[in-house]
């Protein structure tokens, strides 16, 4: 059931000698927002908010974050409960439709996704157009966008059937595209989807099996992969999600909108955090060097930063990291790996949870710290980390895109600016410059 935003009063804004009243709205959870839509018409002024960090760009019912409490809810359900009890496809159904599926709905949804895992054979030619050393995210971005050339009917975003088909195809084909990008980057033949496997199991099989021998999927590894997908499925109005919504607000093709999200996620300040974390662990190199880097992290004059600790949104423990912490230890125990980088990670985790400096500043290990460790242990190169992030986040992107299209108040995005360029001037002929 849709919860409407409520008018809870007015805010008085004084500009010079004039005062204006702006309505204040509250949602079902979180801080209220001041509606500034009428400010320019009334006063001739705009609000100035670089990065939109104090601006609500939309009304949404999908994901809620309380950074102070360390809380993440998908459609009202705590992420910890979903990760413990659900499968990724069940969570995907929830994010898209607003409710958890019953047994029949779950079966039907799985069957629908499974029926669309194959790629059109001509898409294979796109991969052969890339250099062998191309970054997998470059291949993913290009091939997701290319889907728009194969499924023209899905572009009719005003029709429910077309929208549903686009969403289902994206969920189904993203693992196939991601695995194909990985196989191409390492020079191995691609592996077709196996519809008898689970969503996570099928992806692992496409990544790690080879034609010469059978690949045995470990239940522990399969479970870890599924949980990684759940934890990364959505995260409110972050940069890539806002990019998808902004692209979608123009009525752009759904595959092009998701390709825009992939491109935004590729940035090291967004989806590349777990890759940066693993690179930091490699820089430390061995357990005996940890004190040196801890001291550098505490030195305000040293530019070195410990990656994978703290979070821009969560001022408490990242709730996803609690789940990933357990998953990381299960995976490492299962694989029994002897790797100095993983030893560094374990010791760094222990110090961060006990050291007063980290506790005081609430620099707890975040989801990127643990996911980087797990993905590395599974055998993925760091270049694939953001690809897996994009695979999981596709569900959130299409849920947000679909919600935006159904919102009657939605308008094409058009942020304002404070212009600081040259004032009006006359053209000077070439011979007089």
Average pLDDT, the chain: 91
Q: Is a pLDDT exceeding 70 seen at residue 325?
A: yes
* pTM of the entire predicted model: 0.90
**pLDDT value of position 249:** 95
Q: Are residues 137 and 35 in the same domain?
A: no
Q: Are residues 254 and 209 in the same domain?
A: yes
Q: Which is more confidently placed, 310 or 430?
A: 430
**pLDDT value of position 386:** 93
The CATH number of the domain where 38 resides is what?
A: 2.20.28.60
**pLDDT value of position 4:** 75
CA-based nearest residue to 352, from 362, 342, 343: 362
Q: Is position 412 within any domain?
A: no
Give the total residue count for the chain: 433
CA-based nearest residue to 71, from 322, 358, 398, 309: 322
CB 92 within 8 A of CB 391: no
The CATH number of the domain where 315 resides is what?
A: 1.10.580.10
Q: What is the mean pLDDT of residues 372-379?
A: 89
Q: Is a pLDDT exceeding 70 seen at residue 158?
A: no
φ, ψ (nearest 5 deg) of residue 8: -110, 10
Q: Is position 173 within any domain?
A: yes
**pLDDT value of position 2:** 61
pLDDT digits (tens, 9 = 90+) for 67-94: 888 899 999 999 999 999 999 999 999 9
**pLDDT value of position 297:** 87
Q: Is a pLDDT exceeding 60 seen at residue 1?
A: no
State yes or no: is 311 an active-site residue: yes
Its domain, for residue 214, covers: 76-407
**pLDDT value of position 3:** 67
Q: Are residues 164 and 96 in the same domain?
A: yes
Q: Are residues 269 and 392 in the same domain?
A: yes
Q: Is position 129 within any domain?
A: yes
Q: Are residues 122 and 243 in the same domain?
A: yes
**pLDDT value of position 351:** 85
Q: Are residues 186 and 85 in the same domain?
A: yes
Q: What is the mean pLDDT of residues 7-29?
A: 90
Q: Are residues 187 and 98 in the same domain?
A: yes
Q: Are residues 44 and 193 in the same domain?
A: no
Q: Is position 242 within any domain?
A: yes
Q: What is the mean pLDDT of residues 178-199?
A: 96
pLDDT digits (tens, 9 = 90+) for 238-290: 999 999 999 999 999 999 999 999 999 998 878 877 777 888 888 999 999 99
Q: Is position 66 within any domain?
A: no
Marked catalytic residue, from 168, 311, 407, 426: 311
Q: Is position 433 within any domain?
A: no
Q: Is position 249 within any domain?
A: yes
Maximum C-alpha span of the chain: 80
| Counted domains in the chain | 2
Q: What is the mean pLDDT of residues 104-110?
A: 97
DSSP 32-48: -EE--TTHHHHHS----
Q: Are residues 49 and 139 in the same domain?
A: no
State yes or no: is 128 an active-site residue: no
Q: Are residues 345 and 202 in the same domain?
A: yes
Q: Is a pLDDT exceeding 60 seen at residue 317?
A: yes
Marked catalytic residue, from 318, 368, 407, 431: 368
CA-based nearest residue to 211, from 229, 192, 234: 192
Q: Are residues 213 and 84 in the same domain?
A: yes
Q: Is position 427 within any domain?
A: no
**pLDDT value of position 313:** 79
Confidence of residue 157 (pLDDT cuts 50, 70, 90): low
Q: What percent of the chain has pLDDT over 90?
A: 61
Q: Are residues 123 and 247 in the same domain?
A: yes
Instruction: Please list the alpha-helical segments (H only) found in 266-384.
Output: 273-284, 290-298, 319-335, 340-354, 356-360, 367-378
């Amino acid at each position: 059931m849709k919860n409407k935003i409520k008018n809870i009063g007015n805010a008085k804004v004084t500009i010079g000698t004039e005062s204006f009243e702006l309505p204040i709205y509250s949602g079902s959870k979180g801080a209220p927002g001041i509606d500034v839509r009428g400010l320019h018409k009334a006063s001739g002024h705009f609000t100035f908010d670089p990065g939109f960090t104090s601006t609500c760009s939309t009304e949404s019912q999908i994901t809620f974050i309380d950074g102070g409490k360390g809380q993440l809810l998908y459609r009202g359900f705590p992420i910890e409960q979903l990760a413990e009890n659900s499968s990724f496809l069940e969570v995907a159904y929830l994010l898209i439709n607003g409710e958890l599926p019953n047994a029949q709905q779950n079966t039907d949804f799985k069957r629908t996704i499974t029926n669309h895992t194959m790629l059109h054979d001509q898409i294979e030619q796109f991969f052969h157009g890339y250099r062998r050393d191309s970054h997998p995210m470059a291949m993913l971005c290009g091939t997701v966008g290319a889907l728009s050339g194969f499924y023209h009917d899905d572009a009719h975003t005003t029709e429910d059937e077309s929208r549903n088909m686009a969403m289902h195809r994206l969920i189904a084909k993203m693992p196939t595209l991601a695995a194909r990008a990985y196989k191409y980057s390492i020079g191995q033949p691609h592996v077709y989807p196996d519809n008898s496997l689970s969503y996570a199991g099928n992806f692992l099989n496409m990544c790690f099996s080879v034609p010469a021998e059978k690949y045995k999927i470990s239940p522990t590894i399969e479970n870890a992969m599924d949980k990684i997908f759940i934890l990364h499925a959505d995260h409110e109005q972050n940069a890539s999600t806002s990019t998808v919504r902004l692209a979608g607000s123009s009525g752009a093709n759904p595959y092009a909108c998701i390709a825009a999200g992939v491109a935004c996620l590729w940035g090291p300040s967004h989806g590349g955090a777990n890759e940066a974390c693993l690179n930091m662990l490699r820089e430390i190199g061995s357990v005996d060097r940890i004190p040196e880097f801890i001291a550098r992290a505490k030195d305000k004059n040293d530019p070195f930063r410990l990656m994978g600790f703290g979070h821009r949104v969560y001022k408490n423990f990242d709730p996803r990291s609690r789940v990933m912490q357990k998953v990381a230890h299960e995976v490492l125990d299962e694989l029994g790996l002897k790797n100095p980088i993983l030893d560094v990670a374990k010791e760094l985790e222990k110090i961060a949870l006990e050291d007063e400096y980290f506790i005081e500043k609430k620099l707890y290990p975040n989801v990127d710290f643990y996911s980087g460790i797990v993905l590395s242990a599974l055998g993925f190169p760091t270049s694939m980390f953001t690809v897996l992030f994009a695979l999981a986040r596709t569900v959130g992107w299409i849920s947000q895109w679909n919600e935006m299209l159904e919102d009657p108040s939605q308008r094409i995005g058009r942020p304002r600016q404070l212009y600081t360029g040259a004032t009006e001037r006359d053209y000077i002929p070439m011979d007089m410059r």
